[in-house]
């Protein structure tokens, strides 16, 4: 069974913590170290960011980490080289999150094959339209047992949410706000209403919230009506300040 599906079925009442980080940041060879530390400290899933020069949905923290990662020489090929033996030491679900252009340049079938060979379980591609996925790429994803993860926002219509739910096989990425990643405030009434409204739709796929999760309070609020939450910018700030040595303290502060 795909590791994402397995994780979602384990301990039905458990709230999942997923961490996003940019491959090649802060140091070019940190990828495996970070993955091992996150697993050791009880993280449930990890999204490995494939750096891109024009990350439209990302706030300044993730944008800067992508710039540095690219300056560090991170490429799609180098990431797969780093992940070659990752399943010897890391068994939690791993996803790659990135924009479609680098994947297209690498070759979609080739990219998906390498994901399968290295043990990647799913892909989050924010700028890949659902219709394009279903028309051109669904069969490739299925061939290599890669789960597609699609994003919804507070502005997404109920009709579209249900279409995304039908096309999804793991979880739905519930973007907490229409803004870019890395917001500094907490969640207001409108966001809590949004979490509640979508959770009442009784979708077949669980919801995992991203954007704006940075501490215990925001994690608790985000997961009060959903299966889990994703932390990205706040974790990258932690890496910027303390490197890989502070990962344990950061994770323990969230739950």
* Tens-place pLDDT, residues 95-139: 999 999 999 999 999 999 999 999 999 999 999 999 999 999 999
Cα–Cα distance, 52 to 161 (Å, whole number): 27
Q: Nearest Cα to 198, choosing from 165, 170, 231, 150?
A: 165
pLDDT at 11: 84
Catalytic residue set: 47, 58
Estimate the crossing angle of helix 233-242 against helix 247-254, to 10 degrees: 150
CB 53 within 8 A of CB 40: no
pLDDT of residue 182: 46
Distance CA 34, CA 245 (A): 9
pLDDT of residue 56: 63
**What is the rounded CA–CA span in Å between residue 221 and residue 118?**
34
How confident is the model at residue 180, as a pLDDT? 47
97 forms bridges with which residues in the sheet? 49, 124
pLDDT at 75: 96
Please name which of 76, 123, 122, 127 lies closest in space to residue 100, comparing C-alpha atoms. 127
Terminal alpha carbon distance of the chain: 28
User: Is the CB of residue 174 less than 8 Å from the CB of residue 6?
Assistant: no
Low-confidence residues in the chain, pLDDT < 70: 55-58, 178-186
- Tell me the pTM: 0.94
Which phi and psi (to 5°) does residue 160 adopt? Answer: -70, -40
CA distance 62 to 113: 27
Q: Mention every residue, 6+ apart, whose C-beta is less than 8 A from residue 200.
A: none
Give the pLDDT confidence score for residue 6 in this predicted structure.
96
What is the number of other CB atoms lying within 10 angstroms of the CB of residue 200? Answer: 9
Give residues with Cβ within 8 angstroms of 35, minimum separation 6.
46, 48, 86, 90, 94
Looking at the structure, give the CATH architecture of the domain made up of residues 15-254. Alpha-Beta Barrel (3.20)
């Amino acid at each position: 069974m795909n590791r994402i599906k397995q994780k979602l079925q384990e301990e039905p009442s458990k709230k999942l913590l997923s961490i996003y980080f940019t491959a090649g940041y802060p140091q070019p060879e940190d990828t495996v170290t970070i993955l091992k530390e996150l697993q050791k400290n009880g993280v449930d899933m990890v999204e490995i960011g494939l750096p891109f020069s024009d990350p439209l949905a990302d706030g300044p923290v993730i944008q800067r980490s992508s710039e540095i990662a690219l300056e560090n020489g991170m490429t799609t090929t180098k990431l797969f080289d780093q992940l070659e033996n990752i399943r010897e030491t890391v068994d939690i679900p791993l996803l790659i999150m990135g924009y479609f252009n680098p994947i297209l340049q690498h070759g979609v079938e080739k990219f998906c094959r390498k994901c399968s060979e290295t043990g990647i379980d799913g892909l989050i591609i924010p700028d890949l339209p659902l219709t394009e996925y279903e028309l051109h790429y669904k069969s490739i994803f299925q061939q290599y047992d890669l789960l597609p993860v699609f994003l919804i926002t507070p502005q997404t219509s109920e009709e579209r949410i249900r279409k995304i739910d039908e096309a999804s096989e793991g979880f739905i990425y519930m973007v907490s706000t229409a803004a870019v990643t890395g917001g500094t405030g907490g969640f207001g009434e409108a966001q809590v209403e949004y979490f509640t409204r979508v959770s009442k739709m009784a979708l077949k796929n669980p919801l995992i919230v991203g954007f704006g999760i940075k501490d215990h309070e925001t994690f608790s609020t985000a997961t009060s009506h959903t299966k889990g939450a994703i932390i990205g910018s706040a974790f990258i700030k932690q890496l910027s300040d303390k490197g890989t040595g502070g990962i344990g303290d950061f994770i323990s502060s969230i739950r």
